[in-house]
Structure 1
Amino acid sequence: MKTSLKSIAALSVLAGAALAASAQTVTLKVHHFLPAGSAAQKMFIQPWCDKIALESGDKMKCQIYPSMQLGGTPPQLFDQVKDGVVDVTWVLPGYMAGRFPLSEVFELPFMMQSPEGTSKALWDFVQTHPNVAAEFKDVKLLALHVHGDGVFHMTKQPIKTMADLKGLKVRAPTRQTNKLLAALGATPVAMPVPAVSEALAKSVIDGALVPYEVVPSVKIQELVKFHSETDPTEPAIYTSTFMFAMNKAKYESLPPDLKKVIDNNSGLALSGQIGKTFLAADGIGKKLTEKNTHNVIPAAELQSWKKAGEQVSADWVAAVTAKGANGQALLENARALIAKYAVK
């Protein structure tokens, strides 16, 4: 009898401990490279965190660390989430040149047609190609997305023709975009977004190729005078791919109900929603540049730019094919998915 009572008491203690553990709030450390006031945090990361808190009954929350507050540099964010230094991160694969070569197809020139549709296409593309998915095998992918049309933000002169780029030092984020700039006659300068302000202020660069969404984060409107967009009827001159990812072990450690919350807030729909959000953020950023000079590079002028871009794409096809992938098939499938999900 005494033994039975002791056993029951022990089981009660264990059950109570388990209940207490399950009642504890899971706090996810979310690390990214832009300021807290950026569109990325205010319009996407914070709302996502609010949603998982609501749907989990406050059993799962976020602690967001913007502006690399936990240390390191933007290119190190992927390894931080992979290694469990942080639980969730948002970063550009393109900041880690050569590490995600197959998914770079979405960063080739004149690919993106709409941020929402192309973000869905990117998610679909990665899920349906095992060799591409393998590039992200070390993390739990929550979403993949792109941003809106790239814009030239220049300090001394607008960009109206390809000849205007000759010799100018222009920032771009990824190696494929830098190859395009070189093909157009510019001198490409690779750097993460947080470095753009100082580079413009110190005349290290003559301008930056970024979407309007970035303007508030780095105060571009105060550092340049000219903003040159490409004809909106043409595909974007470039876009960048982004990943929103979670540490795999952290995800696996969650109880089933919290895993379900994460699963319900991941995937194709989230990817498209983030792309749509970034398009809306472009409007906010552009409004800040109203006092500056704007121009649109016409479709007729862009035809020669597109020919230069075709060589960049051909070089990518050759490079990944040499490593064992079917580059041409991947390029054609990416274009087909972009067309499939295009928002009219």
Structure 2
Amino acid sequence: MNKLNLFKATIGLGLALAQPLVAAASETVVLRFSNWQPPAHFITTDMLTPWTQEVEQATNGRVKVELINPLGKPQAHLDLVRNGIADIGMSVHSYTASRFPLIEFAELPFTTEDSGVNSQAYWDTYQKFMTGADEHRGVKLLGAWTSPPSVILTTKENVNSLKDLEGSKLRSPSPLFDEVSKQLGATPVTAPASEAYEMLSRGVIDGMYFQYDQIHNFKLDRLIKSVVAVPGGFGKTSQFLFMNERKWNQLSPEDQAAILSVSEKHMAKTFGEKWHQSEQNAIQSLTADGLHTYIVEGDELQELKEKLAPLEQKWIQKAASKNVDGQAVLDYYREQIQTLSQP
């Protein structure tokens, strides 16, 4: 073989060997998102699905997120993702509350009616004061947000005072709400949101801490007879979206940056604002349909605030055990709420 033919053969072989590498580099990365929310649930249709589309667009199609049927119970999803059974998941921090004592500041009662404001203030405060505590070790935290203010949805008719709730069994999403229930003279029953309908229909509980829009989302219309509300809510619920850390580290820096651009504070803002709007729509619709809401106010509200005041001090003590200045956190958090609430 002459030198020219040898050169051509060498080049041809090199190109042939390079083709699989080029193909591999251009392949789309598909991330499996185990989603325990019902397919028609607002969180799936208006929050999670649009986010998956944002990821694909931000990465120019190099990364796609596929929502799949849940690979376990809601409270198991943190470990499912941590162990690589799923690539991405979302959960409620209080489902594994002992792992996340610091997030409770964003769930305290009597703060703000606006989950968009609360979610942004929460994210900024957590990032400023608490990332060093490494509460989300083993997964990559992509975003966190809170629900609108929690009200009490109850099967009781004509609730006209907090005393009407005494002796009730209330589904509680977290230790914080357990304490609220005890101060109301009610019995807390811990369970994930996905079990709400069955528990109500079987009489296992008389009500629950939830949001108005969950009445439609979980098909509770025929079961809920009245609502009890306080300004700023009995509390909030913190949710978070996370990715397997090893899978995250396999992505290119370019794709990591692109995903974060549509996550983190962007996610807190958009998810919180969307949920706030959904809640306002639900309040208007359900009220028009005749659902009665008893709003706690006046002396009764002041008495409730005094009963629940120790919740804040207990959280400050928890924060101190993690070397976090809890009072500084709360001061900054409330400043952010005030700033973000300005028109």
* TM-score, normalised by the number of residues in structure 2: 0.90
Corresponding residue for 1:154? 154
CA contact (8 A) 1:92 1:243 kept: yes
Corresponding residue for 1:334? 333
Alpha-carbon distance in structure 1 between the residues aligned to 2:273 and 2:317 = 33
**What do the CA deviations read for 1:109-128 (whole angstroms, capped 9, x no partner)?**
22344211111111112211
Q: For residue 7 of structure 1, report the CA deviation from its aligned partner.
A: 5.3
Corresponding residue for 2:192? 192
Alpha-carbon distance in structure 2 between the residues aligned to 1:324 and 1:267 = 24
Residue 295, structure 1, aligned to residue 298, structure 2? no
Q: 1:259 aligns with which of 253, 256, 261?
A: 256
* 56-65 or 162-171, which deviates more: 56-65
Q: For residue 14 of structure 1, report the CA deviation from its aligned partner.
A: 4.0
Q: Structure 2 stretches of 5 or more lacking a match?
A: none
CA contact (8 A) 2:229 2:296 kept: no
**What do the CA deviations read for 1:51-92 (whole angstroms, capped 9, x no partner)?**
222333333222212xxx333211111112222211211211
Correspondence list, 1:310-329, <5 A: 310-322=309-321, 324-329=323-328
Q: For residue 322 of structure 1, report the CA deviation from its aligned partner.
A: 4.5
Correspondence list, 1:100-139, <5 A: 100-130=100-130, 134-139=134-139
Q: For residue 168 of structure 1, report the CA deviation from its aligned partner.
A: 0.7
Q: For residue 136 of structure 1, report the CA deviation from its aligned partner.
A: 1.7
SS in 2 for 1:236: coil
Letter in 1 for 2:125: F
CA contact (8 A) 2:129 2:324 kept: no
Q: Structure 1 stretches of 5 or more lacking a match?
A: none
Corresponding residue for 1:173? 173
CA contact (8 A) 1:87 1:247 kept: yes
Corresponding residue for 1:75? 75
Q: 1:244 aligns with which of 199, 219, 241?
A: 241
Letter in 2 for 1:295: T
CA contact (8 A) 1:177 1:238 kept: yes
Alpha-carbon distance in structure 2 between the residues aligned to 1:216 and 1:102 = 31
Q: 2:273 aligns with which of 259, 273, 276?
A: 276
Alpha-carbon distance in structure 1 between the residues aligned to 2:303 and 2:11 = 80
Q: For residue 340 of structure 1, report the CA deviation from its aligned partner.
A: 3.1
Distance 1:220 1:292, change over 3 A: farther
* 8-17 or 100-109, which deviates more: 8-17
SS in 2 for 1:43: helix
Report the number of matched residues: 338
State the identity as a percent: 27
Alpha-carbon distance in structure 2 between the residues aligned to 1:139 and 1:337 = 27
Corresponding residue for 1:37? 40
Bigger Rg, structure 1 or 2:
2
* 316-325 or 154-163, which deviates more: 316-325
Q: For residue 242 of structure 1, report the CA deviation from its aligned partner.
A: 0.9
SS in 2 for 1:176: helix
CA contact (8 A) 2:71 2:86 kept: no
SS in 2 for 1:171: strand
* TM-score, normalised by the number of residues in structure 1: 0.89
Corresponding residue for 2:213? 213
**What do the CA deviations read for 1:220-248 (whole angstroms, capped 9, x no partner)?**
11212112333xxx322211111111222
Q: For residue 158 of structure 1, report the CA deviation from its aligned partner.
A: 4.3
* 321-330 or 265-274, which deviates more: 321-330
Distance 1:323 1:259, change over 3 A: closer
Letter in 1 for 2:30: T
